[in-house]
Amino acid sequence: MPGANLTRVEAGERKAVVSAPVHYWVSLDVTVGARNFGSATRVTFDATPGATTFLDLIADEVSEIVLNGEPLDPAAAYADDRIELTGLREHNEVVVKALCRYSNTGEGLHRSVDPSDGNVYLYSQFEVPDARRVYAVFDQPDIKAVFDFSVLAAESWTVLSNQPVHAVSSVDGMTAEGTLGDHPAERVRLWTFEPTVTMSSYLTAICAGPYAEWHTEYANEDGRTVPMGMYCRQALKDAMAKDVDYLFDVTKAGFAFYAKTWGIPYPYAKYDQIYVPEYNAGAMENIGLVTIRDQYVFESKVTDAMAERRVVTVLHELAHMWFGDYVTMKWWNDLWLNESFAEFTSTLATAEATEWRDAWATFNSGEKSWGLNQDQLPTTHPIVAPINDLNDTYVNFDGITYAKGASVLKQLVAYVGRDRFFEGINHYLNNHAYSNATLADLLAELEETSGRDLKAWSAKWLEQAGANTIAATVEEGADGTIASLTLTQTAPAEHPVLRPHRLAIGFYDEDGHGRIVRTDRIELDVDGETTVVEQAAGRPRPAFILVNDDDLTYAKLRFDDASLEFAAENLYRFDDALARSVVWLSLWDMTRDAEFPAERFIDLSLKALATEHESTTFRYALGQVSTTAHHYVAPARRADVARHVAAELWKLANAAEAGSDEQFQLVGAYLTYGEEGDAEFAANVRGLLDGTVSMPGLQIDNNMRWSLIKALATVNLVDEAGIDEELARRDTTENREFALGARASRATAEAKDWAWNEAIRNESLTNMQLEAVARGCTAAKAELAEPYADRYFEEIDWIWTNRTFHMAEALLNGLYPVNADPARLVELGDAWLAGHEDADNALRRIILENVDASHRMLKVRDYNAAL
């Protein structure tokens, strides 16, 4: 892949040479064409006299390099995406002029043309090392600097950066030629911005284009008035207008919550949020200019889970303004200090400062399940992960860094107490403001405020991988009381660490109205292999005993036999959303560990879906049922089970409240169970599309139409001409992605071959289009998927060598032929891994995780076949 892979050793060596103050003046010219933009950088810095170091830059052409007034030959000084700087002085100045390239992959400076109106939109994405795709830079988090940005852009555009605009001036004699999509050339303006605070390069940002915009202000807790902006594409203006006041209100609630919780008001000059197209991530915490994927601008109906996730995302990025931006990790091994903290506190803020009061149930069903899954892979790693180079960093934006880390922080709050925890956070932020810090710095502050020795806690929780299992054993007395309740903690053999836990045990019984409610609660410390819950002795035996009530700790759970049986029969009657989520996740964990029958899990889940109203729990349960039906049941039963699930989903959808979130999710899930030749499925889907089948309250809006079109494509009931006709109705950025996905989903060998080659070889596809094609390709049923087992492993090396990291990762995950025979995938995968022991760690990790999923499928289906 292009781009030098900076190692931690190299970064340390460069940090030892380069010292503050570091100051950049960056001038960009986005008027020169549709492929490239001009980049000019002047950087001043102090250094060890006589030393050698380098600047990072990925450019098509470097025309000028001047070091301390002396011109350098670009052909000699610029190689392997680095500019070598030799013979440094105590005070240095470097000038670099280059021609850089726009991306269509969401890396560096992304350029997107909206087909609905021809408008061009630019936005930057620099995490992890992609500021170097836009300007010459020491691109590592611990060489913080002040940045002065200026941008030449079309007169009609809006240009944004981290700081407020200092001045905008017209430029005589210049026009923006060939940069404006379908629009004619126009005059050019120069935008200059105020200098930034001292910050890391990966947090700098530039956005430009004819964005629609809205503005308000926030009365900051320090007495300042903070300007706030909201931006999106013109094509999404009407949809955004419906939600913009709500999103401003959520952001303001976050300002107030964080300032109160941490004792530090928002520290920057402004706060803009810009919703951008074709975005690789959920959002990015650029100081003062947060970029957010514009799938969060809702033109069509979305699930409540998506609406809540938008709120969590807004609050997650806002939390980063303090944790990650105000104080930044020194190197990427402490990435979790950014992401885990933002994930934990954004959930806390969502639960306590917005209408989404069940956010911790959402967190358990979505984030924690992600973390537990990641933690059981052969590629699991400590929360404080070993990061040797940038490629290691890329693949650690995962369920450990985000979800497990956030869950462990929730445990730490329970362990030390909330007030003392946030007092320590206040000290940490104040003592390291605008600088870099490490885990040791954080623990020192928390130890001081909590009075606990956290070094041993950190060694087990943060520096060791793997998930513990806590199992309950109950002995009953003759009178129906509990004679003893014992908790047994175990650890996987490859990660044999037992951890201290602060947890709660809930007693649950029927309340007389058919609901299962908590009747008693015990909170205690659990440590070591065995803990006897002395407080439980003599109490009446409840119908269900919930270990880890309120989800205070991070662990796999195994209930006592009577409680397990009760939960399997009565999950749908549990009154509390968080309790249901915790129980459901444990039953799912047992299912995928081959400890609970797959078909029983499906049936209890379908029963519970009839009464579940927590949207994210609902969404994840539907996904778990799908995985179980298609991969975990005995092969001989798979077709019958899939038909049974489809019938039950359709029945539940028709019984659901008209227009409800549950109805919407159930229909969406049903559409993924199509089989060629299934006349009932064809009639239902065609009927919803043409209006002959009525489901009161169900909106057949743009996105639902495309879901129906794709469902028909998967069973060959719509051809390419039909897909093209649908796209012609409304040609937009999103609908082009839907159309490509539908075309790739057609159940023919020709369609799959086209999709396979298009995804891998067509570099004109945007990142989102590529992902849509890959998803459609791998939706193939087993007989169509089989040829791609061999092809997948034959293509890995080419993909890794020839595509950028994000695109390689999207291809290697998206094209893994999960519906092919898992035994064949295991055979091929194990052979590839054995033959590529010296492959890049990041590449091996991607392949290991995919192959491990196939190993698990074999294990679980064999267990169910033997029942």
Per DSSP, what are the bridge partners of residue 547?
505
pLDDT of residue 178: 66
pLDDT at 244 over 50: yes
Q: Using alpha carbons, list the distances in angstroms from residue 144 to 45, 391, 683.
A: 11, 21, 61
pLDDT over 70 for what percent of the chain? Answer: 99
Higher-confidence position of 299 and 175: 299
pLDDT at 393 over 90: no
pLDDT at 2 over 70: no
**DSSP-derived 3-state class of residue 615:** helix
Distance CA 776, CA 8 (A): 38
pLDDT digits (tens, 9 = 90+) for 573-608: 999 999 999 999 999 999 999 999 999 999 999 999
Distance CA 3, CA 6 (A): 9
Distance CA 395, CA 401 (A): 10
| Mean pLDDT value across the chain | 96
Ranges assigned E (strand) in 162-312: 165-176, 186-193, 206-209, 212-219, 225-232, 271-276, 283-284, 289-293
The DSSP result for 532-561, as a single string, is E-GGGTTSBPPSEEEETGGG-S--EEE--H
Distance CA 691, CA 684 (A): 10
pLDDT at 768 over 50: yes
Summarize the confidence of residues 95-109 as an average pLDDT.
96
**DSSP-derived 3-state class of residue 399:** coil
Structure tokens at 643: 């038909």
DSSP letter assigned to residue 194 = P
Distance CA 339, CA 398 (A): 10
Phi/psi region, residue 17 (left: phi>0; alpha: psi -120 to 50; beta: rest), is alpha
pLDDT at 183 over 90: no
Nearest Cα neighbor of 65 from 41, 89, 32, 34 is 41
Distance CA 710, CA 688 (A): 13
Please name the residues in contact with 123: beta carbons below 8 A apart, sequence gap of 6 or more.
Answer: 109, 110, 205, 206, 207, 208, 209, 274, 276, 279, 291
Query: How far separated are the first and last CA of the chain, in Å rounded?
Result: 47
pLDDT at 804 over 50: yes
* 172 pLDDT tier (thresholds 50, 70, 90): confident
Statement: the pTM of the whole predicted model exceeds 0.85? yes
Give the distance from CA 55 to its chain's centroid: 30
pLDDT of residue 177: 67
Contact between 632 and 864 under an 8 Å Cβ cutoff? The reply is yes
In this structure, the strands spanning 271-276 and 225-232 are: parallel
Summarize the confidence of residues 532-546 as an average pLDDT.
97
Structure tokens at 167: 């001045």
1-210 and 561-865, same CATH topology? no
pLDDT of residue 397: 86
Name the phi and psi angles at 297, rounded to 5: -95, 115
pLDDT of residue 801: 94
Give the distance from CA 829 to its chain's centroid: 26
pLDDT digits (tens, 9 = 90+) for 467-489: 999 999 999 998 999 999 999 99
Summarize the confidence of residues 353-369 as an average pLDDT.
97
Contact between 141 and 337 under an 8 Å Cβ cutoff? The reply is no
pLDDT of residue 5: 85
Supply the CATH classification number for the domain 561-865: 1.25.50.20
Summarize the confidence of residues 554-563 as an average pLDDT.
98
Domain 327-461 in this protein, CATH class:
mainly alpha
For the four alpha carbons of 632, 634, 639 and 640, in that order, the dihedral sign comes to: negative
pLDDT at 11 over 70: yes
Query: Which active-site residues does the annotation give?
Result: 317
- Which ranges of 746-840 does DSSP label H, i.e. alpha helix? 749-761, 767-778, 782-785, 787-802, 805-814, 822-835
Please name the residues in contact with 253: beta carbons below 8 A apart, sequence gap of 6 or more.
Answer: 349, 353, 354
pLDDT of residue 864: 98
pLDDT at 194 over 70: yes
Give the distance from CA 394 to its chain's centroid: 12
pLDDT at 551 over 90: yes
pLDDT at 728 over 90: yes
Nearest Cα neighbor of 179 from 37, 84, 65, 317 is 37
pLDDT digits (tens, 9 = 90+) for 826-846: 999 999 999 999 999 999 999
pLDDT digits (tens, 9 = 90+) for 609-623: 999 999 999 999 999
pLDDT of residue 115: 95
* Boundaries of every domain in the chain: 1-210, 327-461, 561-865
Summarize the confidence of residues 44-61 as an average pLDDT.
97
* 181 pLDDT tier (thresholds 50, 70, 90): confident
pLDDT of residue 547: 97
Helices (H) and strands (E) in the chain, counts: 29, 29
CATH fold, domain 1-210, is: Immunoglobulin-like (2.60.40)
In this structure, the strands spanning 289-293 and 556-558 are: unpaired
Structure tokens at 114: 């909206």
Nearest Cα neighbor of 344 from 125, 555, 554, 579 is 554
Contact between 774 and 788 under an 8 Å Cβ cutoff? The reply is no
Per DSSP, what are the bridge partners of residue 40?
27, 97
